[in-house]
């Protein structure tokens, strides 16, 4: 009985199909091999932080998932569906736009540079996706967007335009705009690195609150080590296009195994 109880959470975890599955994924730009035979499964609701030196392939990993780039070889599945079709070994066929659009609905992303629509107010920035992509009625989209803007602390700014907001506020709108689509996974790529230091905290607070939502997976590329440690279930350390080490925050930060990870972490001490 004791053993059964002890094993239950693990076996439940194992039975969950991953929401994202990279298999043997490589990506080259000309002669530059940016990602090398990458395998990665992301479980539904799992919070992953990706750390590693600049130029190690972190953004490329995310761009492949966002379908902004196609892998040179290997496969990526989202929710059990292939992003790109490998017709013959080594030949990656572009998936048709309709297929990609359907898959992209599962994925939300926010980058370092917020690209809000400058000519739309904040409410319209957030509600445009629910109306035009999800096909919600205007009333429903507005109600959902208002609720989202309340969550990120910007309900009093719904009539403002992006140019009237601070960098931190704009980034919070960008997060609201992505999360309002109810994605199964959110990608955050160095979302605080372009912000003035005093604005970083408010954006991290919003991400922290979102991380408390059990059902949405997150892939967070970050140099904020304390934050990664706080919110991630799993930390992945990438160097030179490969996952060198991965584990719980405790394993990665308190007991790093490889010299490369030790050297990388020493830079933050
Ligand atoms: P990171 O996010 O870890 O800093 P990136 O994924 O942005 O790393 O980049 C990894 C490597 O790939 C870098 O050497 C970068 O110059 C190169 N790279 C990324 N995108 C392109 C591209 N579109 N064309 C050529 N090289 C690229």
CA torsion sign for 75, 79, 85, 89 is positive
The proportion of the chain whose per-residue pLDDT surpasses 90, expressed as a percent, equals 75
Q: In this model, does residue 54 exceed pLDDT 70?
A: yes
pLDDT in the model for residue 12 = 43
Phi, psi of 114 (to 5 degrees): -70, 125
Give the 3-state secondary structure of residue 31.
coil
* Three-state secondary-structure class, residue 146: helix
Alpha helices (H) along the chain: 2-15, 58-65, 97-104, 122-132, 138-151, 167-179, 197-211, 225-231, 249-254, 259-266
Q: For 44-60, give one letter per residue: b (16+ CB within 10 A) or e.
A: bbbbbbbbbbeebbbbb
Please write the tens of the pLDDT for every residue from 61-113: 999 998 889 899 899 999 988 887 655 555 666 567 788 888 888 999 998 88
Q: What is the mean pLDDT of residues 227-248?
A: 97
ipTM associated with this complex = 0.97
- Round to whole Å and give the CA distance between 133 and 98: 12
Ligand 1 center to 219 CA (angstroms): 18
User: Which residue's structure tokens are 């990506």?
Assistant: 27
**What pLDDT score was predicted for residue 15?**
56
Please give the model's pTM, rounded to 2 decimal places: 0.89
Determine if ligand 1 sits within 6 Å of the CB of residue 54: yes
Between β-strands 47-51 and 234-239, what pairing exists: parallel, antiparallel or unpaired?
parallel
Distance in Å, CA 64 to ligand 1 centroid:
12
Ligand 1 neighbourhood includes 34 CB (under 6 angstroms): yes
- d(CA 35, ligand 1 centre) in Å: 9
Instruction: Kindly tell me if the per-residue pLDDT of 218 is higher than 60.
Output: yes
pLDDT at 186 over 80: yes
Query: Per-residue pLDDT tens for 4-50?
Result: 443 444 444 445 799 999 999 999 999 999 999 999 999 999 999 99
Residue 102's pLDDT is 84
């Amino acid at each position: 009985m004791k053993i059964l109880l002890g094993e239950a959470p693990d076996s439940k975890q194992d039975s969950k199909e991953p929401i994202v599955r990279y298999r043997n994924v490589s990506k080259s730009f000309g002669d530059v091999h940016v990602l090398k035979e990458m395998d990665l499964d992301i479980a539904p609701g799992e919070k992953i932080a990706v750390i590693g030196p600049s130029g190690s392939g972190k953004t490329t990993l995310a761009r492949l998932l966002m379908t902004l780039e196609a892998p040179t070889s290997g496969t990526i599945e989202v929710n059990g569906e292939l992003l790109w079709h490998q017709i013959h070994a080594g030949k990656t066929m572009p998936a048709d736009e309709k297929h990609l659009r359907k898959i992209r609905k599962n994925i939300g992303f926010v980058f370092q540079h917020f690209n809000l629509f400058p000519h739309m107010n904040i409410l319209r920035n957030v509600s445009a996706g629910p109306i035009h992509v999800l096909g919600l009625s205007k009333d429903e989209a507005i109600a959902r967007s208002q609720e989202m803007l309340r969550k990120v602390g910007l309900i009093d700014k719904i009539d403002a335009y992006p140019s009237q907001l601070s960098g931190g506020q704009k980034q919070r709108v960008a997060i609201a705009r992505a999360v309002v689509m109810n994605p199964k996974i959110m990608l955050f790529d160095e979302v605080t690195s372009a912000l003035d230091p005093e604005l970083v905290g408010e954006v991290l607070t919003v991400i922290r609150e979102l991380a408390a939502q059990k059902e949405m997976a997150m892939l967070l590329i970050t140099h904020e080590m304390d934050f990664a440690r706080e919110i991630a279930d799993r930390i992945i350390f990438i160097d030179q296009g490969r996952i060198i080490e991965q584990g719980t925050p405790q394993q990665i930060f308190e007991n790093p195994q490889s010299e490369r990870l030790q050297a990388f972490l020493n830079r933050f001490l």
